Amino acid sequence: MPAQQKKIIFCIAGVLSFACALGTAAAIGTQLWVKGTILCKTGALLVNASGQELEKFIGEIQYGLLYGERVRQCGLGGRPFQFSFFPDLLRIIPASIHVSVILFCTVLIIFALVGAGFFMFNAFGSPYETLHGPVGLYLWSFIACSCGCLIMILFSSEVKIHHLSEKIANFKEGSFIFKTHTEKFANSFWIILVCSLLQFLNALLIRFAGFEFPFSKSKDSGTITGAADLMY
């Protein structure tokens, strides 16, 4: 492939990697990871609510990695309550998983920025061998993509397996019990998925530029080895 086309490919990959870092950084600071509704089970049972009456006992909840907000409905109108994970909810959430998600988000940002820098360096400079060359570009993209996948897996397990929304909904609630009515992942969670796909696309762009995947064996080397075996 001509050098000019390689530069264009590396520039595109660098821009994608930089956009991935910005998207992840923006996602960390929002509360748009999970959106849902919560049912005031205690209040609904007290008045035996059903049908349209049940809507008076359904509140809202949304949260991210750092903070969130819930609106409790127990038949007397919505009452908003804002909360932060640190230090308010540390006692009721799986703190190790939550901290790991934030840590992997940070690692994803760092390696996406490193990858963007090396992509631009390889586009406009003279690339070095190993970590500065194609192998390094594969490495940065693989680490960033892996971090994105780990973020989604860990956060999904925190929400679905550990019932994070219900724990938040019942935070500082004495006599009322809340249950998750509806729950879905919001924009910031899907941004991490897009970032992971972009890093995977970067690896394909490197291969499209003419650089072999690491640890891949070429057919020529296998042919030469086979001929040498026959000689001996």
Its CATH architecture, for the domain 3-210, is Up-down Bundle (1.20)
Identify which of 107, 97, 124 has the alpha carbon closest to the alpha carbon of residue 21: 107
CA angle 136, 139, 145 (to 5 degrees): 145
Q: How many other C-beta atoms are found inside a 10 Å radius of the C-beta of residue 203? A: 19
Burial of residue 145 (number of CB atoms within 10 Å: 0-12, 13-18, 19+):
buried
- For the cut 70, the answer to whether the pLDDT of residue 80 exceeds it is yes
**Tens digits of residue pLDDT in 33-61:** 999 999 988 888 887 777 777 888 889 99
Identify which of 20, 9, 221 has the alpha carbon closest to the alpha carbon of residue 114: 20
pTM: 0.84
Whole-angstrom Cα distance, residue 9 to residue 210?
11
pLDDT value of residue 211: 65
Helices 187-208 and 3-28 pack at an angle, to 10 degrees, of 160
Average pLDDT over residues 208-216: 64
pLDDT value of residue 217: 55
pLDDT value of residue 227: 40
Domain borders along the chain are: 3-210
**Tens digits of residue pLDDT in 100-152:** 999 999 999 999 999 898 888 877 776 544 455 677 788 888 999 999 999 99
- For the cut 80, the answer to whether the pLDDT of residue 231 exceeds it is no
Between 216 and 193, the more confident residue is: 193
pLDDT value of residue 2: 59
Query: Alpha helices, DSSP H only, in 81-218?
Result: 95-124, 134-156, 164-169, 187-208
pLDDT value of residue 75: 72
